[in-house]
Amino acid sequence: MSEDTTPEELTVLAKQAGLDQLPEAYRAELLAAWRQVAQMAARIPQARPYADEPAHIFDPARFTGEG
């Protein structure tokens, strides 16, 4: 899923996650949160070899909470 996830697609995902009884008031909030999660997940590098342990490749100097 990506930033262009529709409310209908999110309804299907929520139902699969057992959130089919979620009140309507929370659906817009869930969609906004899902879009943020999708952005964060897209930033995770995919082409890392298994030998790259997270503790060995994480550089705190490069980490920023922005953007």
Q: What are the phi and psi torsion angles at 34 (to 5°)?
A: -60, -40
Condensed to tens digits (0 to 9), the pLDDT of residues 9-66 reads 888 988 999 988 888 888 889 888 988 898 898 888 888 777 777 777 777 777 766 6
Q: What is the pLDDT of residue 2?
A: 54
Q: What is the pLDDT of residue 16?
A: 94
Those residues with Cβ within 8 angstroms of residue 57's Cβ, 6 or more apart along the chain or in another chain: 48
Those residues with Cβ within 8 angstroms of residue 3's Cβ, 6 or more apart along the chain or in another chain: 35, 38, 39
Q: What is the pLDDT of residue 6?
A: 87
The dihedral sign for the CA sequence 20, 25, 31, 36: negative
Domain positions in the chain: 7-57
**For 46, which DSSP code?**
S
pTM exceeds cut of 0.95: no
Condensed to tens digits (0 to 9), the pLDDT of residues 17-27 reads 998 888 888 88
Q: How far apart are CA 58 and CA 52, in angstroms?
A: 10
